[in-house]
């Protein structure tokens, strides 16, 4: 796969994730009844929902910043993975299994996007000493 294809897949994924998690974060902060009620039903406290909304919107800003904040993007990807995993298992525990399908789709999207991110920006460990 050439660099242009990798960049295209990465940016399609980054934009898709940003729209998904940006909308989710916005709805959490605006106390949208659909998002809010499901999250409360899953057992999360109201103060956590606001924190999650701020984290998602902050992550979107970092994710959409080109060629910068690469280490912080690692944290954003980790946060998205955790959010998806918690949503998946929370929905399986409280709701019916079909409610977790969106988490599976999000997991696939973030995995593909992260793989492309790593192809574009390979991890280097030049300043790490062993022993």
pLDDT, tens only, 104-131:
999 999 999 999 999 999 987 666 665 5
Contacts of 17 (CB under 8 A, 6+ apart): 63, 80, 106, 109, 110, 113
Q: What is the mean pLDDT of residues 58-67?
A: 96
Share of the chain above pLDDT 90, in %: 92
pTM: 0.89
User: Domain coordinates of the chain in residue numbers?
Assistant: 3-120
For the segment 14-30, what is each residue's pLDDT rounded down to a tens digit? 999 999 999 999 999 99
CB count within 10 Å of CB 50 equals 14
């Amino acid at each position: 796969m050439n660099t242009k294809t990798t960049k295209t897949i990465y940016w399609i994924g980054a934009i898709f994730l940003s729209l998904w998690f940006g909308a989710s974060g916005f709805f959490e902060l605006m106390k949208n009844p659909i998002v809010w009620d499901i999250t409360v039903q899953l057992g999360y406290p109201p103060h956590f929902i606001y924190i999650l909304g701020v984290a998602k919107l902050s992550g979107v800003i970092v994710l959409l910043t080109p060629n910068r904040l690469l280490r912080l993007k690692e944290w954003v990807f980790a946060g998205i993975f955790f959010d998806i995993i918690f949503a998946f298992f929370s929905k399986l525990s409280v709701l019916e299994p079909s409610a977790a399908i969106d988490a599976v789709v999000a997991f696939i999207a973030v995995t593909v996007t992260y793989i492309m991110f790593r192809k574009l920006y390979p991890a280097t460990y030049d300043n790490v000493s062993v022993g």
